[in-house]
Amino acid sequence: MSPAPEAEVPTVLVANRGEIAVRVIEAAHRIGARAVLAVSAADRDSLGAKLADETVVIGPAQAGQSYLRPELIAQAAVQTGANVVHPGYGFLSEQPELTEMLESEGIAFAGPRAETLRAVGDKSSARRVAVEAGAPVAVAAAIDDPHDADHLRALGEEVGYPLLVKAVHGGGGRGIRLAPDVDSLLTLAPQAAAEATAAFGNGELYMERYYGAARHVEVQVFGDGEGNALIFGDRDCSVQRRHQKLVEECPAPGLSEGRRRILHDASRALVRQLRYRGAGTVEFMVDTRSEDVIFLEVNARIQVEHPVTEEAFGVDLVAAQLLLALGRDPGLPEVPPVPPATAIEVRINAEDPLQDFRPAPGRISTIRWPRGPGIRVDTHLQEDYSFPPFYDSLMAKLIVRAHDRDSAVAALSSAVGRTHIEGVSTTLALHHFILNHPDFRAGGIPTTWFGPVWEEHIAGAQEPAAPATPGKEADR
């Protein structure tokens, strides 16, 4: 009897950089696939390039000439014989043009269909889908002309003050302005339109009622593309600076069973409505006064904070994305609404928190990571690595898992204190401050908490002190 032919080893093209590129490469190897990394000229010697089975240079350092060019990614996928492309987060992860280019070449995309990306890619469309699915939404209105004062006055009266002016496209906190009254609205709407145009190439805006004491709570979903959904709990991402997340945890603390059910049921309904495929996140506000639940948006990709869900539930969401894209069983289990453990993550950035979070690129001379049960580090850092100035300042994500929240917070504070990075400024001391603040320890803080508390803190201290540990100086 002749031996059975060996199954063809699939090839995954990783269309991203930094820690998420490393994460996807590891997931590809875990499922027995080859990993090819598409890199800019600045990332030829990155850790991801060293871990990948093959690298292909797609352009110069500037993202607009490399990572943001769908035709270059599609060309690299064809050139390397890729079966599937994983976009990570950011860059082209939510751009339907890439999905369509790949589809025309018979290459799978580890993410939703193009029509899904379009449906949720602008916030106005996503809101319509949410309404159709029965998800709770805030009072809102489209802004047809941000320079038309009469138009803005009428919309402001309809929505009510205070209100948020938001860019329809994009994210990352850009194109968002808080208008407490009509005079500020007339000034801020044109500013938001200009910022949105510069950042996303589209200045469309809408406004919605602002909840001044709301938490940011999101639900991790995984759809099979036919309307069926798995719900992997919820995350609290309320520690934010200018709409940028700093700390994330799973499960969201202090949610009543009823509120959690509303969040999960609404997310499941959206997956069904969209026939959503793969991993995604449905974001909500939970008002701390009324406990109203308000739909925000759908992030149709893997999130930066996905590790806390993976650790809390013991699953591999990235490997599941790849398996589903390859036409295989993603191997994800049904899980309870609340996980058996708590996981908390801090984002370590190359920034100086004492200089208005100014980016701090430079050469990394020394790195020491904490070790021990329940500690995970997602990073692309290596010693003698020159952290580039061209991209996002995220250096690493430090995640700790424990049997309950109090233990997880204490363990993460200890882990932060045992992390040592020399050569550039980092946000490590900032995280020590957050993790040991009594408000954070109590849980359930609103998204407006961090800014005033941090400003008050730095006004009274030259530098936030990192925890003292034997044999270690405070992080500089």
Mean pLDDT calculated for residue range 141-146 = 94
pLDDT in tens, 69-102: 999 999 999 999 999 999 999 999 999 999 999 9
Q: Is 361 in the same domain as 315?
A: yes
Q: Is 331 in the same domain as 429?
A: yes
Q: Is 194 in the same domain as 228?
A: no
CA gap 238, 218 in Å, rounded: 10
* Active site (catalytic) residues: 301
C-alpha R_g of the chain: 22
Query: At residue 278, what are phi and psi to the nearest 5 degrees?
Result: 90, -160
Domain around 63: 11-110
**Residue 423's CATH number:** 3.30.470.20
pLDDT in tens, 256-290: 999 999 999 999 999 999 999 999 999 999 999 88
- Residue 6 has what pLDDT? 56
Does residue 467 fall inside a structural domain? no
- Residue 462 has what pLDDT? 54
How many domains does one find in the chain?
3
Task: Using the predicted structure, report yes or no on whether residue 470 has a pLDDT greater than 50.
Answer: no
Considering 65, 92, 110, which residue would you say is the last residue of a domain? 110
pLDDT in tens, 152-164: 999 999 999 999 9
- Residue 392 has what pLDDT? 94
pLDDT in tens, 49-67: 999 999 999 999 999 999 9
Q: Is 222 in the same domain as 194?
A: no
Does residue 129 fall inside a structural domain? no
Task: Reduce the DSSP state of residue 113 to 3 states and report it.
Answer: coil
Cis peptide before 162 (omega within 30 of 0): yes
Q: Is 319 in the same domain as 235?
A: yes
Q: Is 286 in the same domain as 386?
A: yes
Q: Is 62 in the same domain as 147?
A: no
Mean pLDDT calculated for residue range 386-397 = 96
Task: Look up residue 40 and give its two tokens.
Answer: 């800019």
Q: Are 425 and 352 in contact (CB under 8 A)?
A: yes
Q: Element (H or E) spanning 260, and its range?
A: helix 257-274
pLDDT in tens, 98-119: 999 999 999 999 999 999 999 9
Burial 66-98 (b: 16+ CB within 10 A, else e): bbebbebbbbbbeebebbbbbbbbbbbbbbbeb
Among 375, 313, 386, 315, CA closest to 346: 375
Q: Is 247 in the same domain as 321?
A: yes
Q: Is 414 in the same domain as 281?
A: yes
**Residue 203's CATH number:** 3.30.1490.20
- Residue 341 has what pLDDT? 98
Q: Is 281 in the same domain as 388?
A: yes
Q: Is 265 in the same domain as 322?
A: yes
Residue written as token pair 């407490």: 180
The verdict on pTM exceeding 0.75 is: yes
**Residue 104's CATH number:** 3.40.50.20
Written as one string, the DSSP assignment of 147-206 is: T-HHHHHHHHHHH-SSEEEEESS--TTTTEEEESSHHHHHHHHHHHHHHHHHHHS---EE
Does residue 147 fall inside a structural domain? yes
CA gap 431, 439 in Å, rounded: 14
Q: Is 233 in the same domain as 182?
A: no
